[in-house]
A = this chain, B = another copy of it.
């Protein structure tokens, strides 16, 4: 009689939700470890105007929010991080050290952010801004398969973030995408911070084949990025100062 070998425990179970903010076409991502008794959760790139929607969903799903994370200092919308910290005590804000922004937790390439038995790896992907990072789910057999990469504005679906402000550099972005994202398994699901055409997800393999910018050589990419003739972002003068303190300026004690 054959004997059966089974896992003594089920693998950790990821709860995953993609949430959209229409005004800035921003995606916010909710991830939680549902197999853990606390159901610890995190939000990536929350937007101020959708904080109540997001926190209500967290509550309905019985999750415990522990991190509000940003891929970078956004120029096109105000992060919801500060508002979330004011509404849910104990939540820690997370951003890259290289961003120069305020936060509770600063991350660098190679760091891990754990929530229950699941974790995200931090990859440095500067070029859209100098502090951009990509968060990638773990590589182990006990982590979600296929892997998932939250690329912020470094790599969009068939596009990428602009490189003409906030320390942006087309050379650096080209290097970031090729060394940090295109080296992931091709089936890795790639979730961007924005989409303007109604796409919700892509894969690393698809972008390596069809991204109209990043499939070009570095010189052609640089020329494309230098000739986009984009308008000055309408939110930048409000969004960047607010986001440099992760929206926390209103929470600080008043001097008077």
> Which listed residue, B2, B19, B22, B209, touches A200 by the CB 8 Å rule?
B19
Whether a CB of chain B sits under 8 angstroms from the CB of A108 is: no
Q: Which residue of the partner chain B has the closest CB to A21?
A: B198
Chain A residues numbered 14-31 whose CB sits less than 8 Å from any CB in chain B: 17-22
Whether a CB of chain B sits under 8 angstroms from the CB of A53 is: yes
Q: Which residue of the partner chain B has the closest CB to A195?
A: B20
> A2-B3, A206-B60, A206-B61 are contacts. A200–B17 as well, Cβ < 8 Å?
yes
Q: Bound state CA distance, A197 and B3, in angstroms? A: 51
Whether a CB of chain B sits under 8 angstroms from the CB of A5 is: yes
Q: Is the CB of A210 within 8 A of B60?
A: yes
What size tier do the contact residues of chain A reach? 20 to 34
Q: Is the CB of A20 within 8 A of B198?
A: yes
Please name all residues of chain B whose beta carbon is closer than 8 Å to the beta carbon of A5 when the two chains form the complex.
2, 4-5
Whether a CB of chain B sits under 8 angstroms from the CB of A50 is: yes
Binding site for B on A (CB under 8 A): 2-5, 17-22, 50, 53, 57, 60-61, 197-201, 206, 209-210
A-B contact pairs, 16 of them (CB 8 A): A2-B3, A4-B5, A5-B5, A17-B200, A17-B201, A18-B201, A19-B198, A19-B200, A20-B198, A20-B199, A21-B198, A22-B198, A53-B197, A53-B199, A57-B199, A200-B200
Beyond A3-B3, A4-B5, A18-B201, 14 additional pairs, beta carbon < 8 A = A2-B3, A17-B200, A18-B200, A19-B198, A19-B200, A20-B199, A22-B198, A50-B198, A53-B197, A53-B199, A60-B206, A60-B210, A61-B206, A200-B200
